[in-house]
C-alpha cells in the first residue's frame, strides 16, 4: 500500500451531496456537538496538552462572527458530528501556556495526520474565498453557497468552484544518480526534486518531461507515478513521479534555478538524515523537511524503495 504523506488522508465525510441544502447546514450549527476551527489570518490555534492538537471549539463563542458573514466552511462529518472552519479574520490573538497560534506548515508535523489533512482543507478553502470575492465573469460581489464549497454570483448567476492547482514534482534518475535542483529563494544548500505547475492541455507525464527539460536540459523518457500530496499554500496538489533520464549533460535555466546537480544514492541518504536534523551543518547539502513529498520521493529512491 502507498504511504500517506502529510496533508493527505482526510478522515471526514465531505457530504458533497447534502451540503447544498442550506437549511440542513444551518441546523448543524444548532447542534452542541458541532465543532468549529477558527483560522486567524489562515493560522490555527494549536493546543499543547498531552499531545499537540487543533483547538476545535463549540459554535457559541463564534456565533456573532458567523452571523456577521465571515466565511464558514462545512469541512465534513465524522462520527455523527459536523466540523466547520471559520475565517476569524486577520487579528492576531494572544497565545497562552496551553495554546499557540501557528502557521499550518509548522503545525502539521506536530498534530495527528488526519487533523493535518483537515487543516489543509480548511486553509485552502478559506484562502480561496478571501481571494475570490468578486465574480470572475461580471465583476459583481459574489456570495458563499453550498456550505462554503461554491461562490454564487447574484448578478449573472454564475457559480464559481474552489480551484486546485496541479503540480508535478519529480526525481529524474539515471542509473545510480538522480537530479536535484536548488532555487534562488533557497540560499545555502537545500536541494529538492524539480517541480512545476501543469499547464492546460497537458498530461502529468508530459508536464514532467517539459519541466525537467526546461529547468535542466535533461531529456526524460519513461515516467512513473508514485503518490500525491495536498499542499495548502495556497491550494496545490503535488503529484510525485520518478522519471528515467535519457541524457546527462545539464543546461540550467538560470531564471528558474540557482543550481542543478547529479547526486548519488549515498549523498542523498546523507541529505535525508541532515534534513531531519533541527540543527543542520551550514554548507552541507540538504533536502526539504520530511513533511514535503519532495523529501519522500528522494528518500524512497535513495533507499531502494521506489525505482523508475
- Name the site residues for Zn ion (rule: CB under 5 A): 135, 137-138, 140, 153, 155-156, 158
- Residue among 34, 54, 163 nearest 114 (CA): 54
Minimum distance from residue 161 beta carbon to Zn ion (Å)? 14
Our CB check for Zn ion shows the closer of 158 and 189 to be: 158
Cell numbers found for residue 65? 462572527
Minimum distance from residue 131 beta carbon to Zn ion (Å)? 16
Minimum distance from residue 141 beta carbon to Zn ion (Å)? 9
What gap in Å lies between CA 83 and CA 118, rounded to an integer? Answer: 9
How many CA atoms are closer than 13 Å to the CA of 15, on its beta-carbon side?
24
Within 10 A of 285 (CB to CB), how many other CB atoms are there? 20
Q: Which helix (H) or strand (E) holds 209?
A: helix 204-216
What gap in Å lies between CA 173 and CA 60, rounded to an integer? Answer: 55
Our CB check for Zn ion shows the closer of 100 and 135 to be: 135
Minimum distance from residue 153 beta carbon to Zn ion (Å)? 3
181 three-class SS:
strand
- Give the start-end residues of each E strand in the chain: 35-40, 43-48, 52-54, 72-78, 81-87, 99-101, 143-145, 150-152, 159-160, 165-174, 177-182, 194-197, 220-231, 236-245, 259-264
The dihedral sign for the CA sequence 165, 195, 103, 12:
positive
Distances, alpha carbon 223 to alpha carbons 38, 171, 217, 237, 240, in Å: 41, 10, 16, 18, 10
Our CB check for Zn ion shows the closer of 155 and 248 to be: 155
What gap in Å lies between CA 276 and CA 273, rounded to an integer? Answer: 5
Our CB check for Zn ion shows the closer of 133 and 184 to be: 133
Our CB check for Zn ion shows the closer of 33 and 156 to be: 156
Minimum distance from residue 143 beta carbon to Zn ion (Å)? 11
Minimum distance from residue 155 beta carbon to Zn ion (Å)? 5
Our CB check for Zn ion shows the closer of 48 and 159 to be: 159
CB-neighbour burial class of residue 92 (10 A; exposed 0-12, middle 13-18, buried 19+): exposed
Our CB check for Zn ion shows the closer of 155 and 165 to be: 155
Minimum distance from residue 125 beta carbon to Zn ion (Å)? 20
Amino acid at each position: 500500500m502507498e504511504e500517506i504523506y502529510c496533508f493527505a488522508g482526510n478522515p471526514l465525510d465531505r457530504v458533497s451531496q447534502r451540503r447544498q441544502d442550506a437549511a440542513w447546514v444551518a441546523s448543524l450549527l444548532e447542534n452542541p456537538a458541532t465543532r468549529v476551527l477558527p483560522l486567524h489570518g489562515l493560522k490555527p490555534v494549536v493546543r499543547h496538552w498531552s499531545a499537540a492538537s487543533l483547538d476545535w471549539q463549540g459554535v457559541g463563542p463564534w456565533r456573532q462572527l458567523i452571523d456577521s458573514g465571515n466565511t464558514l466552511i462545512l469541512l465534513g462529518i465524522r462520527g455523527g458530528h459536523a466540523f466547520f472552519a471559520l475565517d476569524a479574520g486577520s487579528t492576531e490573538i494572544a497565545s497562552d501556556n496551553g495554546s499557540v497560534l501557528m502557521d499550518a506548515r509548522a503545525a502539521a508535523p506536530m498534530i495527528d495526520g488526519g487533523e493535518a489533512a483537515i487543516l489543509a482543507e480548511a486553509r485552502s478553502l478559506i484562502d480561496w474565498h478571501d481571494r475570490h470575492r468578486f465574480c470572475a465573469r461580471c465583476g459583481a460581489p459574489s456570495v458563499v453557497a453550498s456550505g462554503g464549497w461554491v461562490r454564487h454570483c447574484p448578478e449573472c448567476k454564475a457559480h464559481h468552484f474552489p480551484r486546485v492547482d496541479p503540480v508535478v514534482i519529480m526525481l529524474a534518475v539515471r542509473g545510480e544518480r538522480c537530479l536535484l535542483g536548488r532555487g534562488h529563494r533557497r540560499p545555502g544548500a537545500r536541494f529538492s526534486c524539480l517541480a512545476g505547475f501543469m499547464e492546460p492541455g497537458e498530461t502529468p507525464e508530459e508536464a514532467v518531461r517539459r519541466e525537467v527539460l526546461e529547468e535542466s536540459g535533461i531529456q526524460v523518457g519513461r515516467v512513473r507515478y508514485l503518490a500525491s500530496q495536498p499542499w495548502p499554500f495556497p491550494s496545490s496538489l503535488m503529484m510525485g513521479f520518478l522519471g528515467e533520464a535519457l541524457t546527462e549533460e545539464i543546461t540550467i535555466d538560470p531564471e528558474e534555478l540557482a543550481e542543478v546537480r547529479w547526486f548519488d544514492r549515498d549523498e542523498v541518504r546523507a541529505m535525508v538524515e541532515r534534513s531531519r536534523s533541527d540543527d543542520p551543518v551550514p554548507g552541507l547539502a540538504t533536502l526539504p523537511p520530511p513533511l514535503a513529498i519532495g523529501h519522500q520521493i528522494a528518500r524512497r529512491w535513495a533507499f531502494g524503495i521506489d525505482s523508475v
